[in-house]
Amino acid sequence: MARRPRHLSAEDKALWKKVADSTDRLHPVRPLADLPAMNPAPPKKRQPKARQPAFQLGQNAKPNALPHDLSPSLSNSVASQPVSMDRKTFGKMKKGRLSPESRIDLHGMTIAQAHPVLNRFILDAAAADRRLVLVITGKGKHRDDGGPIPVRHGVLRHQVPHWLNSMPLKQHVLQISEAHLKHGGQGAYYVYLRRRR
C-alpha cells in the first residue's frame, strides 16, 4: 500500500480557499488607527536588595520559663523569701555590717544532735531579746555514692532553714539570710529575730 504524500495537492488547496472565503472572521482585523496608543512604561529602576541580617539558629527563641532543675538552689530559695524586716537594716545585714549578738556552730553534728541544740539556742536568744544571731552549719562535704538518687551535700545547711520556718521557732524568726563571707558565707545563716512583746 502506497503512502499518501504529506503535502496538500492543488485541488485540496483550492477547496480549502473556497471554504475559508465563505466564513466570517471571529475577531475582525481593526485598522491600526483604532488601536490604543501603546506607550510602554519606562522600565522600573531595580531597588538594590536589602541585606538580610545575619541569622543565628535559635536567636528568636524565647528562654524556657521552667529550667530542667525543678528544685531551686538553696541560695536562691533563701534569697527569694520576701523581706519582712526593715529594708535598710536588711541591706546592712547582707553586707556584713551588723555584728551577730550570738552565734552557734552546728558544724559536725548529726541531724538528731543539731535539731534540739538549734531549738534551745533560738528560744534562749529570743528570751534574751537578741535580734541578730548567727547559725553556722558548714558547707557540707560532697559524699555522693553514685547511686540512682543524687545525695545533697550539706545536710544541715539544707535542714536549718526548714527548722527555722517550722514551729516552735517560726514564731520568733523574722528573717533568714545567707551570711556575708566574713561571717561564714554559704556555710552560715543570719537569723533576725522578732522583738519580744
pLDDT, tens digit (0-9, with 9 covering 90-100), for 52-103: 778 788 778 777 655 555 555 666 667 667 787 888 888 888 888 888 888 8
Structure confidence at residue 121 (pLDDT): 92
What would you report as the CA-atom Rg of the chain, rounded to the nearest whole angstrom?
46
Match 536549718 to its residue by C-alpha cell: 160
- Helices (DSSP H) in the chain: which residue ranges? 10-21, 74-79, 87-94, 111-127, 155-164
CA distance 142 to 179: 21
Q: Which three cell numbers stand for residue 32?
A: 491600526
CA distance 5 to 100: 121
If one counts every other C-beta atom within 10 angstroms of the C-beta of residue 156, the result is 24
The residue type of 92 is K
CA distance 188 to 179: 5
43 cis-preceded (ω within 30 degrees of 0): no
SS3 state of residue 134: strand
Q: Which three cell numbers stand for residue 100?
A: 551577730
CA distance 56 to 77: 34
Mean pLDDT over 109-136 rounds to 89
Mean pLDDT over 5-23 rounds to 84
- Range picked from 13-22, 55-64, 71-80, 176-185 for highest mean pLDDT: 13-22
